[in-house]
Structures are given as structure tokens and as C-alpha cells.
Amino acid sequence: MEVQQTMTKTSKVLFKAGDDFVLTITVTNKYTTTAIDAATAVDVAQALYDAQLDLPIPNPATLASLLVTLNAAIVTYDTAIIVNITGWTITSSMKWLGKHVADFTVSFVDASVGIFIISLPSTQTQPWKPRVYDADIQFVILGRKSSSQTFQVDVKKDITMEV
């Protein structure tokens, strides 16, 4: 079983002990000037499209044109938030009550668009007890360390595997 999720501030990853742990992560930055401008363009395009829909009789040609503009704005935004993680060092660990439980393996999927995976094989997750663990990801960029928000791995027992 593969777990895929985009990281948010309060992410909780649900997981069954004894499965392969695979978490695909995309690094984005929504706070650059380019990303903020692109988000504003999406908001404006959406408002224009919605206004046309709210008319008693929307003009199909205008709707089609506004939809093209909205979709282009969304593509521009999606491109603007991409973070190239080429050359970064990434590590990730999991703890329970401050006690080290695991170091995840980090694999780059496409560093140019910020995609990587943290993982562990089932042989290493088998001993995990059902409980909520804390984890984070540490990035080293040009010698400077920065960590992600702490996220939780909510481990449940695997009923089928239980003997």
C-alpha cells in the first residue's frame, strides 16, 4: 500500500504497521512575489468567470473565453509555486515521546519540480506499535538547515497481518 499526501501544517498520515511506508511529498512555496501575483490572477479570473455565470443569460462564447483564461491562470500559479530542490540534502526521522523510532529513506522523484519520497520497507515498520508518532523533514540548502512542520504518523494495527 502506498501513502501519498501533500504536506500541510497539520498533516496526519494514517498507516498500518507492517505495510511499506511510502509518502510522496512536493515542496512548494506560495509566498514568493511570483506565486502571490499568480494567485491574484487566479482569483481575478475566477471572479470574472463567476460573474458571467451569475448573469440571467450567460454568454457561451464569453464563458468559454473566461474559462480558457482561468485555466491558464491556474497553470501559471501551479508553475509559480514549484520549488527546485536539486542539490538539497533531505533527511527525515520519526520519534515517539522523544525516543527515536526510525530514519526514513529519502528518494528524489523529480527534484526540478520539488518531488521526493520518504519511505521504509514493511520489515522496518512491522515492529511499530499502534500509536501516534511525530515526524518531520529536515532540508539542508547551501549549508543552511530548515525543518518542515512536524507531522504525525498515526499507526494502526493491521488486522489481516495479525496472527
SS3 of 115-151: the string is EEEEEECHHHHCCCCCEEEEEEEEEEECCEEEECCCE
Give the pLDDT of residue 83: 94
- Collect the ranges in the chain with pLDDT lower than 70: 1-10, 162-163
- Phi and psi of 74, rounded to 5°? -65, -45
Q: How high is the mean pLDDT of the chain?
A: 92
**pLDDT attached to residue 50:** 97
Burial class (CB in 10 A: 0-12, 13-18, 19+), 9: exposed
Domain 3-28+84-156 -> CATH class:
mainly beta
Q: Output the pLDDT for position 3.
A: 37
> What pLDDT score was predicted for residue 11?
87
Q: Which of 100, 89, 97 is nearest to 137 (CA)?
A: 89
CB-based burial of residue 27 (10 Å sphere; 0-12 exposed, 13-18 middle, 19+ buried)? buried
User: What was the pLDDT predicted at 162?
Assistant: 63
- Return the exposure string of 66-90: e unless at least 16 CB atoms fall within 10 Å of the residue's CB, then b: beebbeebeebbeebbbbebeebeb
